[in-house]
Amino acid sequence: MSAQPLSFSTGIYVGTFDPLTNGHCDVIERASYLFQSLTVGIGDNVKKKPFFSVKERIAILKSVCTSLNKNISVKSFKGLAVEFAKSEGASVMVRGLRTEADYEFEMQMVMMNKTLCDTIETVFIPTRQELSHISSSLVREVAVMGGDVSKLVPDLVFKKLKEKQA
């Protein structure tokens, strides 16, 4: 893509990215052209049992994002996404949508975030149709059962998933 960033200075896209999928990469790349800088925030959710550690996810995302756009930074955070957004100086949170079911869940999150901080807006970026069936949980499940997920994740993630299974 060769688009130039718009007037928004800082955007933020948060998730667990466990593992990073091609759908995530699609949203990250497209969002990066809307902002002067985009921070990808890796949530450290203590309620979830991650497949990859936060340190591993940071390394993967940093490596993959360098090929997407130069204005992307990757950081981890604990706690509320809206608090992380404020700490990064972000005025807009980006959320990816795959299906109508995602929309319902994401709208609840938007309303809660707006209740917590009314100065941060949310922008939805729908995943490209050919990627809409990909979710991290399905990728993990298929990979653990020995299925081929090479078309669902970046090459580096596929390699790391194979290493975990060895």
Q: Is 140 part of the annotated catalytic residue set? A: no
Of the candidates 72, 78, 115, 109, which has an alpha carbon nearest to the alpha carbon of residue 90? 72
Question: Of 32, 37, 136, 160, which residue is the catalytic one?
Answer: 136
Instruction: Out of 24, 30, 57, 95, pick the active-site residue.
Output: 24
Give residue 11's Cα distance to chain centre. Answer: 12
Q: How far apart (Å, rounded) are the C-alpha atoms in residues 15 and 28?
A: 11
**Does residue 136 have an active-site annotation?**
yes
Give the containing element (helix H, strand E) for 56: helix 54-65
Q: Output DSSP code: residue 66.
A: T
128 is catalytic: no
* Active-site residue, selected from the candidate residues 9, 48, 53, 164: 48
The total number of residues written for the chain in this structure: 166
Where b means 16+ CB within 10 Å and e means fewer, 45-70 reads eeeeebbbebeebbebbeebbeebbe
* Cα separations in angstroms, 73 against 11, 62, 64, 90: 11, 7, 11, 13
- Active site (annotated) includes residue 7: no
Q: Say which of 30, 57, 95, 98 is annotated catalytic.
A: 98
Q: Which residues are catalytic?
A: 24, 48, 98, 136
